[in-house]
Amino acid sequence: MRELIEVQRKLLPDLVEVLRNRYTLLQTIAHLQPIGRRALSQVMNTTERILRAEVDLLKEMGLLHVAPAGMSCSEEGMRILEQLEPMADDLFGLNELASQLQHYLQINRVVVVQGDSDQAEWVKQELGRMGARLLKQYVREGDVIAVTGGSTIASVSAHLTPSSAFRTVQFVPARGGLGEKAELQANSLVSSMAAKTGASYRLLHVPDRLPADALQTLKEEPQIMEVLSLLHSARIVLHGIGEAIKMAQRRRYDEEELAELRELGAVSEAFGYYFNEAGEIVHRMETIGLQLEDVQNAEVVISIAGGASKAKAILSFAKQSCQNVLITDEGAARAILGKE
């Protein structure tokens, strides 16, 4: 397949570019459907006039439905997307990008999806779709899966489907809440993931920031002790990687605390730990939940993060050498490798 695409690039470069553009258009509509032409032109950073010709062509080919509510992919359009997917990685150079990133970060497996989630919301859906696919590949009977919160992990939940592989699995929240939207908190996500897959779940009703004495008291609660025991035994960890200052702001750090983090050079956050560019821990929140040693003991650690703005954070956390799968996007990959 790769050899064929290289031949096409040399002999028919325009054809390859047209194929890329139409695949991207169809894929974007599939993720955002139903969507109007004006909204689609904004998402794809093009004009309605240019878009109209392509949309009309895909409609004539039976790949799109156009209705008052907006455009959507037909069954044939979805089938074409599925057939093109194996070719798309080579078509967009994603396999080569993933290979370079894998070598650069020294991570066992790297998957790069098309686009930049800083620029287009549908790319986050692609990250989630790939996360759901890989989770299904790695899961085993009786697994405990620790899950963090956030919008990227929520997109994984949105793409999970029922499977016998999950029947004896337990989803467990890696931490308490951040005070963010309820649907993005780990407790909500494990409930959603369990419902979508047929698995079971446990909850951890604990705020992320508490005084030391309150933390100690809660750790002695039988129900919390039981959940913490499950977290210690998690074979799979599914998590996002945050930008340090943004995560601290979500946790409602005051200006003095934020200034201290900046002075310490914090660039990334995961599991309540803040890391500098060298991957060193510069700050740690005393919270109830998954600890870094638990992550290091897990057999499968799947990190999902995208967008060029996350490049430093991804690179920083990679230096912990505890993840063996990274799912990211072109924007982050190219920024990390200096290809922007």
For residue 9, what pLDDT is reported? 54
Residues 58 and 99 in one domain: no
CATH number for the domain harbouring residue 159: 3.40.50.1360
CA gap 168, 200 in Å, rounded = 7
pLDDT at residue 1 tops 90: no
Neighbouring C-beta atoms of residue 330, cutoff 10 Å: 23
> Residue 124: helix, strand or coil by DSSP?
helix
What would the two tokens of residue 89 be? 């990685």
Q: Which of 56, 90, 124 is the last residue of a domain?
A: 90
The DSSP letter of residue 203 is -
For residue 180, what pLDDT is reported? 59
Residues 207 and 305 in one domain: yes
C-alpha closest to that of 328 among 112, 100, 99, 89: 112
Residues 17 and 32 in one domain: yes
CA gap 315, 296 in Å, rounded = 17
Residues 200 and 323 in one domain: yes
Q: Dump pLDDT digits (tens) for 10-30.
A: 555 567 778 888 888 898 898
| Phi and psi angles of residue 62, each rounded to the nearest 5 degrees, phi first | 80, 20
Q: Which residue has the higher pLDDT, 2 or 192?
A: 192
Q: Which of 53, 75, 90 is the last residue of a domain?
A: 90
CA gap 139, 137 in Å, rounded = 6
pLDDT at residue 94 tops 60: yes
Residues 62 and 189 in one domain: no
pLDDT at residue 88 tops 90: no
Residues 44 and 136 in one domain: no
Instruction: Determine what percent of the chain is predicted with pLDDT higher than 70.
Output: 91
> Residue 270: helix, strand or coil by DSSP?
strand
User: For tokens 């779709």, what's the residue?
Assistant: 129
Beta-sheet strand order (sheet of 144-147):
109-113, 325-329, 300-304, 236-240, 144-147, 170-173, 200-201
pLDDT at residue 294 tops 70: yes
Q: Which of 90, 124, 147 is the last residue of a domain?
A: 90
Domain count, the chain: 2
What would the two tokens of residue 337 be? 């490798």
Residues 152 and 57 in one domain: no
Task: Say if CB 313 and CB 305 are below 8 A apart.
Answer: yes
Q: At CA 325, angle to CA 285 and CA 135, rounded to 5?
A: 95
CA gap 133, 83 in Å, rounded = 16
Preceding omega of 86 cis (within 30 degrees of 0): no
Q: Dump pLDDT digits (tens) for 175-203.
A: 876 555 667 789 999 999 999 999 999 99
C-alpha closest to that of 151 among 306, 274, 268: 306
CATH number for the domain harbouring residue 20: 1.10.10.10
Residues 13 and 80 in one domain: yes
pLDDT at residue 7 tops 60: no
Q: Which residue has the higher pLDDT, 9 or 53?
A: 53
Residues 177 and 319 in one domain: yes
Residues in CB range of 302: below 8 A, 6 or more apart: 131, 134, 135, 138, 236, 237, 238, 239, 323, 325, 327
Residues 71 and 153 in one domain: no
Residues 216 and 152 in one domain: yes
Residues 154 and 301 in one domain: yes
CA gap 205, 188 in Å, rounded = 11
Task: Say if CB 31 and CB 39 are below 8 A apart.
Answer: no
CA gap 164, 225 in Å, rounded = 29
Task: Say if CB 304 and CB 240 are below 8 A apart.
Answer: yes
Task: Give the range of the structural domain holding residue 308, as residue numbers without chain letter.
Answer: 94-336
Residues in CB range of 7: below 8 A, 6 or more apart: none
| E strand segments, the chain | 64-67, 70-73, 109-113, 144-147, 170-173, 200-201, 236-240, 242-243, 266-270, 273-276, 281-284, 300-304, 325-329
Q: For 90-112, what is the mean pLDDT?
A: 91
